[in-house]
Structure 1
């Protein structure tokens, strides 16, 4: 049985590796793009809740952009700390900044999605940039992104930032997440105009305002905790021209401060990413165990055929891991050597998030509880 399973595994690894190699080769780096000095007005929309530790540094890095035709709309989403006050202070320092304070969340909306939608309604620009309150930008990031956007006549552009992390196990966990997300969602297919597969990374989503309005705005994903991914997927599926790029030296975010924070942070969208289906939870757990853990055990089998097939699956793991990590991050491929252990951590993360979702009857995000029934109804 294991022999057949691992033979099938070799075929799967070969398909994934060829697909990833082809897709990643066509993945552009935003750093190589020229700067756009003058062009359409850009409206940057930042939704924040309780981000007093990060928001000032992030906005100040944005205000230093070389691209000049920019306005900022900072949306305070029911913060209980000093986030709103910091936004007001930033507004006083720079007339390009507008601030809106949200005190109540309408029924049928997730908080962040409603905040981004609210900000978009205030935007005067022809291009909208949805970004998070903890992203640090290099001065030429906007200029390069807009040049790329206009040169390719896009409706939607998303960029992968550098995911900064501290600590060995957190870095290895994030690296494994990148690998898993990449071969499960195949984000590079967003660059294929013949494909209906799209993607979105919440750190940086640049859209043509006209296309965003035609599509139906964030109202179309108002109850999705993975709003960024869903926005990109749905817009691509409906024919809007899309691309994904990397911007590893132009944008940086500390995704999570610790491994514990990563487990907590993934509570909100793990089950959503598996389409709210228990079958998908079991399928993902089975796939992770068989694909990323079992071969590292059976390689020590006295059955030479099984040991050889296990070695082949480990090599397939390694090739795909290195391809994705070297292209999509600044992490060292050496984290591959603890891959089975980080796979166990990821299994724990999926189980924990799924069980908590069922126990609570929904998810907790930005201080608000959303019932699972309500989330499913808005699918």
Structure 2
């Protein structure tokens, strides 16, 4: 038993050494949009936002966009079957600013997820040669779009995605989000998108800036119409087709309150967790076992009376702390001191995977924004 544990810990240590080297090189290629010169004038940018029951946040978000220094903008606000006054807020904003157009969607056609359909319809109304897809709860600093467009043009990009600052109030929510971003980063390696020869793509729903031509040539959102993780899949699609893509940090330019509580985070991850594991039980079991062995066990095994096991565990903890700090300092506004509760947040993450997978099977699909999508259809459309 001790020998097997020592072997597993040694393998984990090798994995973390490789992950640290990869992150060190990758994060060096991660530019910060705050450092880019702001573009004062340029092409028409079409901003597309789809919202379903977002009355609590959408007005504040759109008003931060309306106050941008860069003014050659238009908005297509898509009300996706809202029941809470979202559509009325959109119409009122459109009356205040002629650059805003509103599209109301009343029915969802078969074979589509609601948001994907809404974004596709909104993009179809865009007049600009560049489209920005952004969520309804993102807050923009007044120079955000000018700096992003400057970077987009200077780099000759087809697609730019930007990482926002994730806002959280409670300690445990910060710790959980910090762990989630840590896991997402070493698993998806988003910085690899900045290497032209890499096939790794990335997209973030808060800020997906894309040339209209590339978007249409890639098949629009119709190509990913049944993907709950549409933002990520759009980026992966663009990269796979050979378009020039980059990810940049925008922690001072963009802010979003991803979730308001830990419970809301668990509920929110119901739609993406199983999709990220390709709707396969084998991947769920692998994710649970891998997370537990590599990110929980060392914190208990470090107290082993066996010196080899204790030493390997301590080495794993040090490497984990180093990688966590690197990612946290570049990708989040949170303190790296949250690593002190790392094994507990790892257990919370395992719980979220188990919960999301169980509920998906129990319901026979995912429930998102009041609409149910069958697991059978999700699997069929995403093969």
TM bucket (normalised to shorter chain) is over 0.9
The residue aligned with 1:196 is: 199
The residue aligned with 1:46 is: 49
TM superposition score normalised by structure 1: 1.00
TM superposition score normalised by structure 2: 0.98
SS at match of 1:183: helix
Structure 2 counterparts to residues 52-131 of structure 1, below 5 A: 52-131=55-134
| Residues 78-108 of structure 1 deviation map (CA, whole Å, 9 limit, x = unaligned) | 0000100000000000000000100000110
The residue aligned with 2:241 is: 238
The residue aligned with 2:360 is: 357
- Report deviation, 1:376: 1.0
The residue aligned with 1:154 is: 157
The residue aligned with 1:277 is: 280
SS at match of 1:271: helix
Aligned partner (choices 165, 181, 185) of residue 184 of structure 2 = 181
Cα distance in 2 for residues equivalent to 1:181 and 1:362: 23
The residue aligned with 1:324 is: 327
- Report deviation, 1:228: 0.5
The residue aligned with 2:23 is: 20
List gaps (5 residues or longer) in structure 2: none
Cα distance in 2 for residues equivalent to 1:208 and 1:39: 14
- Report deviation, 1:287: 1.1
- Report deviation, 1:216: 0.4
| Residues 115-162 of structure 1 deviation map (CA, whole Å, 9 limit, x = unaligned) | 000000000001000000000100000000000000011000000000
Cα distance in 1 for residues equivalent to 2:43 and 2:111: 33
List gaps (5 residues or longer) in structure 1: none
Cα distance in 1 for residues equivalent to 2:366 and 2:83: 20
Displaced runs of 4 or more, over 2 A: none
Cα distance in 2 for residues equivalent to 1:145 and 1:97: 21
Cα distance in 2 for residues equivalent to 1:12 and 1:133: 38
Cα distance in 1 for residues equivalent to 2:290 and 2:334: 24
- Report deviation, 1:10: 1.2
SS at match of 1:349: helix
- Report deviation, 1:322: 0.3
The residue aligned with 1:309 is: 312
The residue aligned with 1:289 is: 292
Cα distance in 2 for residues equivalent to 1:6 and 1:365: 39
Q: Does 1:333 align with 2:341?
A: no
- Report deviation, 1:377: 1.1
Cα distance in 2 for residues equivalent to 1:84 and 1:238: 36
Cα distance in 1 for residues equivalent to 2:355 and 2:249: 31
- Report deviation, 1:235: 1.0
Cα distance in 2 for residues equivalent to 1:377 and 1:295: 39
- Report deviation, 1:238: 1.1
Q: Does 1:29 align with 2:29?
A: no
Cα distance in 2 for residues equivalent to 1:283 and 1:369: 27
Aligned partner (choices 5, 8, 23) of residue 5 of structure 1 = 8
SS at match of 1:11: helix
